[in-house]
Structures are given as structure tokens and as C-alpha cells.
Structure 1
């Protein structure tokens, strides 16, 4: 086995792999013996097929498989041992690879084009200011959070008369064409209905102002325009619901009106635990503002990453093997046309430059990704998911368990690992540049992202 590398320039090389008969001969012979032991052919006892016949039938395929296996393993080993930081993957160089036939050839030669990543030097300058946007939570955002908490911990209360946002409870009885109760008709008791979801405005208008004990007659199919929903309401099968028609009498037994929780110490304890130190509405709003702005830091960090990327890409010059990369993209993405590759090539190159810069920062600063870092990030991802549903104070053991569940998904684990590394890289950048903090509203920040 002989592997050589010819440098075309600083970025492009040709690696030639020569495989000779003595490299594969013993392995191929052993494979042929195994085939002979298992061969079962008419006219021959099992395992007694002539070796020459086995070689004639299977020798070429076994040789090709073994040569390709040796080629792949040794090419990869060479790249690792030579510490080559290649871009993409080796591509066959057909011009430099002599033609051969596995039927007759004994020695083989393969040539590959490889592209080597350029040496990148990342120097930070404290004189360069990097913008960091501190998104401020305004009164509107805080009001929305207050509304979420008062709604979450609100409760239904009995009411005297029906209003358009009320929930009513009552009993359904099926009527015949003359408006009489059907003796064997459908009956459903203690059915709960939300008035505002009724689609028939006339029926809705009629029910407003009713009291417990009052009755109203209507066709539920017309009012809800959904037989599946009516089936659940009347506690009947889907098949029965398909045949339901005509009016029902509905007798109100209870009127429930949702009342939001009052903003007081009882709400603060429900929201943040019995040991909370929040006593006043002002302290409550300040807590919500702090929580919101802590969440908004994720958006701030994202924008800082984008701005840092653009600054460093513009600052750090690097030459890249563009022709090789276009060829590699085409080879590994057969569904892409040349025009599609050309149209998106600038974005691809921008992402590649940023990756090379991040790799250099990680190497220069000996950044390591530890298992506890991944677990901590998974826990934070879990906490963010809970916060989306207004659950801000989940117990640590529950967050840890949910985080471990997330890490069971290989793709999620890889995304989290990548995020951990990028967070560490961005921390290095923050330590080595001047940060220009700018307070900004959520609305203006969103406009920045749209640019």
C-alpha cells in the first residue's frame, strides 16, 4: 500500500492510493475459501465445489469489494494521520486514475482531489464595538403577562343570568315534529356549553338573559354545525350523530361565569410559591418585567451572534477553493441544479467562513464540551418549553428528567451540543471585544431582525 500527496497549491491537493496484489491477496484468498465452504451447487457435494470454479464465479466481485474497502479505510486513515483539515470530502480524479479491469488487473491506482481548509487567524480588537441590544419589556407586555396569570388562576362562579361569555350547564331532551318530548328520544344531562362558541346568532341572542330553570328550544346541528361535536355533547355514537335531526329542549340548571383572579398576595403565592417575597402589585409587575427581559436575552444573544458573525467575516480574509466546493456540492446533492448551487453559493461560503472562524476560536481557547454542559443546556431547553405555557417555576428534578428525555433523541442531542459550543464561543468573543449595549423596544428590535 502506497499513499502519496501532491500539493497543487495551498488549498488543493491530489492524493494517490496504490494498492498492490500483496496488499489484498491473502484476504481475497480467505474470502474465496469461505465462499467454497458455503457453496451449494448441483453435481457437487457441499463444500467440494472446485476452487477454480468458485474463483471464476465470485473472484471479481470479492476482489472489487476488498479493494474498495481497503481504499476507503486507508484514505480516511491517511487524512487523520496527516492531520489534514479537509473541506467536504475527497472527490475522484478521473484524469489521474488509470483505467483498469478487476478481471485482469493485479495492481490498482486511485487519485482523489482534496481541498484543505486555510489557516485562519482570529485576532480581537478591543477598539471595535460590537452592538448588544437589551430588549425592554414595556407595560403592554407586562399587562399581557398579568392577564395570563389572572386567567390561569381564575375560577368559574355562579351567575344569575346568562351573558355572552358564560358557560352554561343543562339537560337536553329530544323533541318530535310537534315539539313534544320523544319518549324514547335522546336525553343528555348536565351538558356544559360555552355560549360564545354557538354559531347560530339568533339562538345565542335568545339564550342571553336566561336564568337557571329556564328552557330554550333549538336544533343543535344548526347551532354548532358539527355532528362530531354534537355527538360528544349528547353522549351518543358517531353513527347516531349522523342521523340526528330536529329540535331539542335545553333546560338550564347552572350558569357559570369565569372570573379572573385578583392581583393580590394569594395570586403571588399561586404563581411563585408560598415562600415568595412579593407582596404588592408593583413588586409583582417588576418580577414579571425581570422574567420577560431574561427570556428576551435569548433574542439579544441571537442578534449578537449574527452581528459578530458579519463583523468577523468581513474582517478576516481567507481564500477558499471555490471550484472544488461547487463540484463537491454538485456531487453530494444530485437534486440541485448548477443554477441553484450558483444562486445559493454566497450564503454557503458565508456559513463556511463563519464555521472556520468558530473552529479557530474553539481551538485557540481550548473549548471543551462536557456532558454536564449538555445536560444543563437540555434542562434550560426544557424550562423554556414550560415557560411558553406560563409555567415559570418548575421543580429542578422535573426539569432534569425532561431534559434527559430530550437528550434521548440523537438529533436533539446534536443540536444542543452545537448550541453549547456556540454559546462558549460567543462568551469568548464577548470577553475580547467592547460591547456597546443599547436599550431597545421589542417592536424596534423586530424591525432590526427584518433588515
Structure 2
């Protein structure tokens, strides 16, 4: 056996040459033929008494091919590991003319995409802005409106008023089809609100959608179901065919409401309730703010880390690895996205290796248990005994889908640890922004 690697440092590619002699595989082939002889069943021969020559004639070529492939796999993997050759994806076999009927020695070649070492930016070199979100009155009012719609008593009056919702079908004027089902909040209309008051079921309203909502694409998206791009481009007249009017009376601010919203005996007064609403909304925005920082962190690390990529090999590998799903034209069109994903994967793997990041099974189990609790509103507190009793449910979940659930939870926790480690290496400064400004900046 002989293995050589021809490297092209400029293109970051390599050609791995593997030469196999008969002595490299003959013993394994003979062993497999003997094993097959014990199991083979041929008419006229008792089980285990089939002549080896007949087995060789019938199965020898297939056995030889299987053993060569097995030997190639272990040989190539071993060479790359022993010589610390870092590659992109997997080696790509080069087409060759192999005759398993007559050849005794074989030559194979594999294309490699080489990945050189790289360094992450120095600590505190990357600076990020974190949206420090302050709640405005409009956002709190919107939250209370949502609570009213969820817990208040809803009726369907004949004629609409300013705080009602119009339920119906919305579509571009003149467009075919019945349109998109919407629940339009009249009090969010900024221009021409009077046209939406005094409306009855069966009426059809024609209005400039963008003008009615003051050009606020976010407001349009929130009730229309349109995408960010569609809402931003929603110019001209639209038709709303009203099916009914929804009116919800605000629930009384009493202990019954407090318990429904936050759980039994969590708050005991209107003042505590209002404070709890504010804290909950603020907590949700803080969590979203952290998510924004994490996304910015990933982008910044990709942009500030110099990683050379074997571009042409990567494109070829993407097509081969996703055969039937990706073609060369699609790869070319979206190549920048694929390269950024690859670079983040390399950065992530480097951090895991350099910092020795690990995920223990107990961490995964606890994560699943927390999800189970979340389905009950997160209000239930588990004792150690209760948590131990529910561990079986978590373990069963993790075993489902042939272990796919376990892998997904593992990867999610590891990704969080990577981002947490990176957060300690960058400078993050707060950037004051209102909740409305934050929503407008991050919608979509």
C-alpha cells in the first residue's frame, strides 16, 4: 500500500493517491469468502458444504469490491487523521477504470478541499451594540389590549365603533379570489378612521391600505398576514369585505383576572398587576434584545475572522453532497450564504475544541424537563423527587426519532455555550431604543 498527497496551496486543494497491492486485501477477501461459504445455500449442496470455488465464482467480485471500499475508507480516514490534514466535507472520489475481474493492484484518487488554520479576533477587538429597550405607553397599551381580547367578553354588534375590530376578507382592489382573512383594529387606523366606524356586516370598504395606517408596514403586517416585503409594498386601494364586528369588553381588574394572567396568588392588587405586566413585557423584550446581539455577534465573528476557503472545491462538494437537491446554478446564486454558514461552522468547531466545550446528558434531560414545564405555563415548581420521577418522560422523548431529538437538544445547548463563550470576548454597549423602534427595526 502506498499513499501520497499532492497539495495545491494556492487553490487549497489536494489530490490523495492510494495504491493497493493484492497483499493489502487478499487475506480479508479470503476470510469473507470462508464466512460466506458457511452461510451460502445452493441447490444440491447441504448448508455449509458449498465449495469455496463456487462461492468465489458467484460472489467473489462483490466481496472484493466491498473489501476494497472498506479498506479505502479506513485507509483514507487514517491517513488524514495521522497526518492532521484538515479537510472540508469529505474526500471526493475521482472516477477511475477499475476491473475487479482481472486487476490485482488498484489505484484510486480523491479530491480534497484543504482548510488551513485560522485565528479568531483578539479579545475585545469586536464591538457590538445591544438594543436597550425602554417600554413606551403605546406598547403597554397594546399589551393590555391583547389581555382584553384574550380574557374579556366578546360580542358581535351590528354597527362598528372606534375600539372594535373588523373581521373579514382583505384583498387588492380588483384582484381575483376571496382574499386574506384579517381582524382589522379600527383604533390603529391613523388616516380616515371615520370610514371604519358605523360599518355593518356585509359592507365592503375600499381604501388605501398604506395611507390608512400611516405607511406603518409593521402595523399592516400585524393584522393582515402579509410578509414584510408585501406590507411595505402595499400601495394603492384594497377591499375589505366585512363579515362581522368584534367588540371585547375589558375584564374587571380583580383577583380572578390576576390569577388567569399570572397564575394563582402571584399578584394581589391592581398596582402589583400593572407592575407584573410591565416586568413581563420588559423581560420578553430583553430576551429579544439578547437574541439580536447573538445574531450580530455571529455576523461580526464571520466578518472579522479571516478564513481561506477552497471555493471551487466547496461548490463541487455542495452539489455532490446534496445530489438531487442542489445544482451548480443554485449553488452559484446562493454561494455567499453557503460560505458564511461554513465559516460560522468552522469558528464554532474551533471554539468547541479550543475551550473543551461539552454537553452532559443531565443538561439535555433538564432542558427537556424545562420544556415540559413550559407547557404548563412555567408556574409549576418541581421538587427533586418530582423531577426524578419525570426524568423517564424526558428520556423517552430523547430516544424517539432514532435519537434525533437527543442530537437536536445537544446541538442547541452547545450552540448556546459557543455564543456565551464569544460574548465574553467582545465589547457590548447598550444602545437606547424604544419598543416601537425596536419592532420596526427587527420585524420580518
TM-score bin (small chain): 0.5 to 0.7
> What is the TM-score normalised by the length of structure 2?
0.67
Tell whether 2:268 aligns with 1:263: no
Residues 172-187 of structure 1 aligned to structure 2 (within 5 Å): none
Residues 106-125 of structure 1 aligned to structure 2 (within 5 Å): 106-125=104-123
Distance 2:367 2:39 in 1: 53
Tell whether 2:436 aligns with 1:446: no
Closer, same or farther: CA 407–437 of 1 in aligned 2, 3 Å: farther
Residues 381-420 of structure 1 aligned to structure 2 (within 5 Å): 381-382=371-372, 391-396=377-382, 407-409=398-400, 410-420=403-413
Partner-residue secondary structure (3-state), 2:91: strand
Partner-residue secondary structure (3-state), 2:302: helix
Is the CA contact (8 Å cut-off) linking 1:150 and 1:262 kept in structure 2? no
> What is the TM-score normalised by the length of structure 1?
0.66
Tell whether 2:20 aligns with 1:34: no
Distance 1:5 1:30 in 2: 31
1:313-363 deviation per Cα after TM superposition (whole angstroms, max 9, x unaligned): 222222110011111112122222221110011110011112222222333
Task: Give the aligned partner of residue 345 of structure 1.
Answer: 335
Residues 4-15 of structure 1 aligned to structure 2 (within 5 Å): 4-9=4-9, 11-15=12-16
Matched length: 350
Distance 1:79 1:48 in 2: 43
Larger Rg: 1
1:245-275 deviation per Cα after TM superposition (whole angstroms, max 9, x unaligned): xxxxxxxxxxxxx986532345434544555
Judge which range, 295-304 or 107-116, deviates more: 295-304
Task: Give the aligned partner of residue 98 of structure 2.
Answer: 100
Is the CA contact (8 Å cut-off) linking 2:126 and 2:300 kept in structure 1? no
Closer, same or farther: CA 381–12 of 1 in aligned 2, 3 Å: farther
Partner-residue secondary structure (3-state), 1:101: coil
Distance 1:338 1:79 in 2: 28
Task: Give the aligned partner of residue 419 of structure 2.
Answer: 426
1:197-231 deviation per Cα after TM superposition (whole angstroms, max 9, x unaligned): xxxx89xxxxxxxxxxxxxxxxxxxxxxxxxxxxx
Distance 1:279 1:47 in 2: 83
Is the CA contact (8 Å cut-off) linking 1:19 and 1:107 kept in structure 2? yes
Task: Give the aligned partner of residue 216 of structure 1.
Answer: none
Distance 1:107 1:377 in 2: 54
Aligned-pair CA distance for 1:69: 1.5
Is the CA contact (8 Å cut-off) linking 1:154 and 1:260 kept in structure 2? yes
Task: Give the aligned partner of residue 293 of structure 1.
Answer: 282
Aligned-pair CA distance for 1:25: 1.8
Task: Give the aligned partner of residue 186 of structure 1.
Answer: none
Residues 61-72 of structure 1 aligned to structure 2 (within 5 Å): 61-72=62-73
Closer, same or farther: CA 143–377 of 1 in aligned 2, 3 Å: farther
Closer, same or farther: CA 46–9 of 1 in aligned 2, 3 Å: same
Distance 2:366 2:286 in 1: 17
Task: Give the aligned partner of residue 129 of structure 1.
Answer: 127
Instruction: Pick the aligned partner of 1:363 from 353, 358, 361.
Output: 353
Is the CA contact (8 Å cut-off) linking 2:121 and 2:301 kept in structure 1? no
Is the CA contact (8 Å cut-off) linking 2:37 and 2:49 kept in structure 1? yes
